[in-house]
Structure 1
Amino acid sequence: MFFVAAKIFWALFQPSNLAAILAAGGLITLIIWRRLGLTLLAASAMLLITFGVLPTGQWLIAPLEARFARPSDDAIKTAAGLIVLGGTEQPGMMRSRGEPSLGFEAARLGGAAALAHRLSDKPVIYTGGYREPGGISQADVARDFLLGVGIAKKRLILEDQSQDTAENAIYTQKILGQRADKPWLLVTSAFHLPRAVGAFHRAGMTVIPYPVAYRSSGNGVNVWNFDVAENLRISDLAMHEWIGLAAYYMSGRSATLFPAP
């Protein structure tokens, strides 16, 4: 129920979609109620300027990405293995094209692969259960990608039932059993780590956060690049995480509002 409600809410209220909904509503309303139509169009324009032209997305995503730094080499060596969270895989494209296809957050899986090579013989757990009607899942895409970049099949553990970050944590903990008491590297996009850490701590796991796929510079400089599509994308990601942090805290999926090291 939470998963479905979250998907519906976000489909309506992420900044890029909301701007489009207001614009469409404004154009339709102009026919019968001019003042309301103009108001909706003005609101749509303000959203586009705020989230698509100004570097608002950078301002919003920077503190999320700064929350957890990369662990030291010594900390990495203590890990029992690594857990990589799904979200970038495209099962539909793999089904139609016959090869692993990754989306905007491809660096998430790429970063996990690079880290897996450093750990040489330790297990690699992939968690992500979205499945296309054709039967191919995110886990299938991740498996083929990781095998293709040289990760040994015997090291891979696939969790293909979870539908969101909280379920990533719950199902991974169940798979690991007693091994969940050991520290595991948690690999996901830097902006996603605070919510992911909160969920895994709530599931009773000890994790070492390992951020990848940064979207902000980290040096305090917010680039005003006038790339409206990219700015909207970053704004959507950042707003999704801030709202997600609040929702996880209020629903008991995380014990803290903004998990910290």
Structure 2
Amino acid sequence: QPVADRLLRPIESTYPTWNNSQKVDYIVVLGGGYTWNPQWAPSSNLINNSLPRLNEGIRLWRENPGSKLIFTGGVAKTNTVSTAEVGARVAQSLGVPREQIITLDLPKDTEEEAAAVKQAIGDAPFLLVTSASHLPRAMIF
């Protein structure tokens, strides 16, 4: 996807990335596309940009010992498990202890995700993980 990457690069470069200089207590991974089939490997339930978001969230969590990983996103109409819970289950399958995970499974869109994160952690600094095409909308809040 070289064309898509080239188009998204200016969006990504608009926002600062974490440079490992300040440790944080929270890493927030915004919800994305998913499905739920308990018969599948946990990570197979994450679709589109959701798995790369989760992988980056776990990488940042490992770089910030003692931090909490927050997954956001409600239940889609065709699923019985929320996107936040699917993210948590995948993270657990990759070695993140459940007590290090917070799920915010009521938000249905980016604005609601931002409000739920604010309610959960107040003004504490955090790292935000999303996809490049979602950054402009996510940064509004």
Conserved in 1, the CA contact under 8 Å of 2:61 and 2:69?
A: yes
Change (3 A) 1:58 1:81: closer
133, 136, 139: which one aligns with 1:194: 136
Change (3 A) 1:99 1:173: same
SS of the residue 2:11 aligns to: helix
Return the letter of the residue paired with 2:127. L
- 1:67 aligns to what? 14
125, 133, 139: which one aligns with 1:183: 125
The whole-number CA distance in structure 1 between the counterparts of 2:120 and 2:16 is 27
SS of the residue 2:130 aligns to: strand
Change (3 A) 1:163 1:120: same
Conserved in 2, the CA contact under 8 Å of 1:67 and 1:194?
A: no
SS of the residue 2:76 aligns to: coil
For residue 171 of structure 1, report the CA deviation from its aligned partner: 1.4
Change (3 A) 1:63 1:84: same
Residue 104 of structure 1 pairs with residue 48 of structure 2? yes
SS of the residue 2:57 aligns to: helix
Return the letter of the residue paired with 2:136. P
SS of the residue 1:74 aligns to: coil
For residue 150 of structure 1, report the CA deviation from its aligned partner: 0.8
SS of the residue 1:181 aligns to: coil
Percent of paired sites with the same residue: 29
How many pairs were matched up?
Answer: 136
The whole-number CA distance in structure 2 between the counterparts of 1:112 and 1:134 is 23
The whole-number CA distance in structure 1 between the counterparts of 2:77 and 2:41 is 15
The whole-number CA distance in structure 2 between the counterparts of 1:88 and 1:111 is 16
What is the alpha-carbon root mean square deviation over aligned residues?
1.9
For residue 184 of structure 1, report the CA deviation from its aligned partner: 0.9
The whole-number CA distance in structure 2 between the counterparts of 1:140 and 1:182 is 23
**TM-score, length-scaled by structure 2:** 0.84
Quick check: which one's helix share is greater?
Answer: 1
| CA offset digits 1:13-33 (Å, max 9, x no partner) | xxxxxxxxxxxxxxxxxxxxx
The whole-number CA distance in structure 1 between the counterparts of 2:69 and 2:62 is 10
1:15-26 pair list within 5 angstroms = none
For residue 132 of structure 1, report the CA deviation from its aligned partner: 4.3
1:1-261 pair list within 5 angstroms = 55=3, 57-58=4-5, 60-75=7-22, 77=23, 79-91=24-36, 94-95=37-38, 97-100=39-42, 101-105=45-49, 106-176=51-121, 180-199=122-141
| CA offset digits 1:47-69 (Å, max 9, x no partner) | xxxxxxxx4x4554232122123
Change (3 A) 1:134 1:128: closer
| CA offset digits 1:55-91 (Å, max 9, x no partner) | 4x4554232122123222113x1x2211110104323
| CA offset digits 1:173-230 (Å, max 9, x no partner) | 1222xxx21211111113322221211xxxxxxxxxxxxxxxxxxxxxxxxxxxxxxx
**TM-score, length-scaled by structure 1:** 0.48
Where does the alignment leave 5 or more consecutive residues of structure 1 unmatched?
A: 1-54, 200-261
Conserved in 2, the CA contact under 8 Å of 1:85 and 1:168?
A: yes
